[in-house]
Amino acid sequence: MAETRNSIEDVWGPRTFHSAGSWPVRVDERTTGDVERWVPSVCVLCSTGCGMDVGVAGGRIVGVRGRADDRVNHGRLGPKGLHGWEANASGDRLTMPLIRRDGRLVPGTWDEAMDLIVRRSKDDIAKYGPGSHGFYNSGQLFLEEYYTLGVISDAGIGTSHLDGNTRLCTATAAVSLIESFGTDGAPGSYTDFDLTDALFMVGHNMASTQTVLWARVLDRLDSPNPPKLVVVDPRQTQAARRADVHLAPRPGTNLPLMLGILRILITNGWIDSDFIRDHTVDFETLVDATQSWTAERVEAVCRVPPERLQAAAEILGTSPTLVSTCLQGVYQSLGATATAVQVNNLHLIRGLIGKPGSTVFQMNGQPTAQNTRECGANGEFIAFRNWHNPEHVAQTAKIWNVEPSKLPTWTPPTHAMQIFHLAETGSIRFLWIVATNPAVSLPEVGRIRKILAKENLFVVVSDAYLTETAQLADVVLPAAIWGEKTGCTTNADRTVHLSQKAIEPPGEARSDLDILLDYARRMDFQDKDGAPLVKWTDAETAFDAWRRCSEGRPCDYSGMSHQLLREHGPIQWPCNAQYPLGKERQYEDGVFNTSADYCETYGHDLATGAAVTPEQYAARDPKGRAVIKAAEYFPPPEEPDGDYPFLLTTGRVVYHFHTRTKTGRAPDLNAAAPKAFVEIAKADADRLGIDDGELVEVRSRRSHVIVPARITGIEPGVAFMPFHYGDEGDGADTLPTAANRLTMSGWDPVSKQPHFKYAAVAIRPATSVSERARDNGATALAGRRDDRTRSEGRQPVASGETRR
């Protein structure tokens, strides 16, 4: 048994000053028994993608350790990585299929379950067409699984109703990169954090969501030559406390804040005119759009003092190098894509992209969200191709040996919220949910649970546990998870790891790849010559098929193989004949992926989401120049008023990932943050007569929850809740605590990401709560790690996403 530190108490570990290329050894390890063998793998509890070895003894996982030679984390691991593996051995793992009979889920055989699925699938396709089928998947699978799902959905069934829970997570990251640079994919590298002179973190609570990356930043901040730090967040997060300038705009006002910052840069001439002239188009539109956003107007809308705005802009406008990061505070809020694109614009007008120490991270939240997007499991076309480019469609049809007309190009891909709406209205009759828990993670969860329980909707859930969603399914398929299967993951800086199978899955659980291959075989999906459409049989051959499909695209894996990853370790894409061991940065030559014949979409109007037509795009083909896009601000659809005077924002705590399906089953993580709560400001608490820890009712126009109050440094008038907790409450023994009972079903017009980050709510002391329920609710504070009594290193804070 070994533990290099108590990562629950000491989240980020000791400081290890480093410069590029020089990393003091720090290998974090936690084991609960003697290790017989170590198996190379990667942590899949956030998008950082830390390399780790899995310790195995007696056919069970007994611990993990960081990999010292891994380019991503250099041996460091955070609390979720060091503890999350314990969920594999949770006693409530699903070990055999479950089939609903007479209203109850009862055990069945794989043949019974798959026969039922295939019978229903064939019947619905015959009667109602391919559009009767929807697939809602994850940011938690492996590349090989996403690719197989994409091929089945696009070329096997031919439905456009395919999306991932990346819609709640990094849909805006993908779309904002596409709008500005032509295709998805991070421009830079994590090493840029080591080299930069300034960091700009916008709605990205890195200290909670990516603890090892934040440790890397802390190493810089505590070094003799620290970068400047500008943080945009309505909450007093760990990063906000370390910032040189902290901007705390009202939720829903990120866009005017960014327009105000860009105006100051342009007015002061803090721009790179040569770069703008040679490498971008449409700078004038930005000049026009920012003109009216004076510091005074920004203050009126965002409540950010002019002197703070000026101080932030001066850092961002004059720093020789700059790394910016965005996450859910941008993506799940109003004007999501429009705001993210303004952060891209900041780098474009300063010419700070594609250079060491200068990049923008439209950050991923989930560990394999990049693969969801690359493989088209989010509905986008495979390998960053363009659904509306007939040549791209023909290329793909040729690779899969199907007729182009088989591919669902006639309509835009259906986003998650629309998939559930189509299920609600009866248009989608067969919904397969893979490795995600929408009964907790989607807005208005009460409505989502009613949809999943509908009589005329056949719901298949593949999962490792009987989640809130699985409980509503017609068939539940027991899935093998990380550690129990082999496959690749690509993290937020394009680093590809091979995660190797360390142990056997429990009972009859199978990998999602095996489940999908079985479904494809039983459905008898064929190519145009009558051969099986899905020609691979395991993860390695699936990867080989994918590398051929990705060749020539920005996410080019053609030079990679499982064998190379086994021998060499992690590699960044693109990896091909030109870059046999990968390439660290994109766009070093200032040439972007925007040419009409290469780009991933033709772009959108950022305010309305209206698509630019192929003809319009071709007429003004940027031909490799980045596109500077301006956007108009519209106020939130729901503003505080007399009845609902607070703005609620939701997010994460450091000890949990998504809906806690894994972290809630790791005893120490769960004990550190066992229950939901609501953060409010001291001034508001005093005014309402609310004590710290007291149960309060938080009510929106949609529903209510009852949770303990936490009094923190959050801005007055703003409240925060973690979204991890799915309890609906029965009123007697348990209280309703699911934050997504309160959130609304609106979404960003371009990326279709739901608006989780603001909802008008009322807060008052909870009365008429049963004593038993009160006792249960009050335990929320019993196990918590208090962020107000601890030094940096131990503080639960938030941002946002979903799952396993």
Which of 43, 162, 705, 721 binds ligand SF4 (CB under 6 A)? It is 43
In terms of CB distance, is 640 or 796 closer to ligand SF4? 796
In terms of CB distance, is 153 or 210 closer to ligand SF4? 210
In terms of CB distance, is 210 or 437 closer to ligand SF4? 210
Which of 11, 45, 442, 673 binds ligand SF4 (CB under 6 A)? It is 45
In terms of CB distance, is 49 or 182 closer to ligand SF4? 49
Instruction: Look up residue 714 and give its two tokens.
Output: 């959050």
Q: How far is the CB of 782 from ligand SF4 (least distance, A)?
A: 25
Q: How far is the CB of 35 from ligand SF4 (least distance, A)?
A: 18
In terms of CB distance, is 78 or 603 closer to ligand SF4? 78
Give the x/- contact pattern for ligand SF4 in 66-105, rule: CB under 6 A. Answer: -------x---xx-xx------------------------
Report which secondary-structure segment, H or E, holds 756. Answer: none
Q: Give the C-alpha separation, 188 to 343, whole Å.
A: 14
691 alpha carbon, distance to own chain's centre: 34
Which of 7, 88, 121, 211 binds ligand SF4 (CB under 6 A)? It is 211
Which of 8, 11, 50, 169 binds ligand SF4 (CB under 6 A)? It is 50
570 forms part of the interface with ligand SF4 (CB under 6 A): no
Q: Give the C-alpha separation, 270 to 104, whole Å.
A: 65
Which of 8, 35, 46, 706 binds ligand SF4 (CB under 6 A)? It is 46
294: left (phi over 0), alpha (psi -120 to 50) or beta: beta
In terms of CB distance, is 61 or 599 closer to ligand SF4? 61
The CA-based angle 25-29-31, given to 5 degrees, is 160
In terms of CB distance, is 151 or 323 closer to ligand SF4? 323
Which among 42-50, 98-106, 691-699, 758-766 is the span making contact with ligand SF4, rule CB under 6 A? 42-50
499 forms part of the interface with ligand SF4 (CB under 6 A): no
- What is the full DSSP assignment across 669-694? HHHHS-S--EEEEHHHHHHHT--TT-
Which among 166-174, 208-216, 233-241, 242-250 is the span making contact with ligand SF4, rule CB under 6 A? 208-216
Closest CA to 371 of 168, 95, 145, 681: 145
Q: Give the C-alpha separation, 298 to 249, whole Å.
A: 9
Beta bridge partners of 359: 323
Instruction: Look up residue 104 and give its two tokens.
Output: 């109850």
Q: How far is the CB of 799 from ligand SF4 (least distance, A)?
A: 13
Which among 29-37, 48-56, 197-205, 759-767 is the span making contact with ligand SF4, rule CB under 6 A? 48-56
User: Residue 93 half-sphere exposure, CB side, CA atoms within 13 Å?
Assistant: 19
| Torsion sign (Cα): 687, 691, 693, 694 | negative
Which of 13, 49, 63, 603 binds ligand SF4 (CB under 6 A)? It is 49
Give the x/- contact pattern for ligand SF4 in 512-531, rule: CB under 6 A. Answer: --------------------
Cα-based distances in Å from 583 to 348, 555, 564, 565, 771: 21, 11, 15, 15, 60
48 forms part of the interface with ligand SF4 (CB under 6 A): yes
259 forms part of the interface with ligand SF4 (CB under 6 A): no
Instruction: Look up residue 226 and give its two tokens.
Output: 């620290």
Which of 121, 148, 170, 210 binds ligand SF4 (CB under 6 A)? It is 210
Q: What backbone torsions phi and psi does residue 528 show, to the nearest 5 degrees?
A: -75, -10
Instruction: Look up residue 254 and give its two tokens.
Output: 């990120």
Of how many residues is the chain composed? Answer: 804
In the range 216-255, which residues lie near ligand SF4 by CB under 6 A? none
Instruction: Look up residue 668 and give its two tokens.
Output: 């120490």
212 forms part of the interface with ligand SF4 (CB under 6 A): yes
The answer to whether the beta carbons of residues 795 and 654 sit under 8 Å apart is: yes
User: Cβ–Cβ contacts within 10 Å for residue 382, how many?
Assistant: 27
Which among 177-185, 204-212, 627-635, 746-754 is the span making contact with ligand SF4, rule CB under 6 A? 204-212
DSSP β-ladder status, 695-699 and 704-712 = antiparallel
**Residues in touch with ligand SF4 (CB under 6 A):** 43, 45-46, 48-50, 73, 77-78, 80-81, 210-212
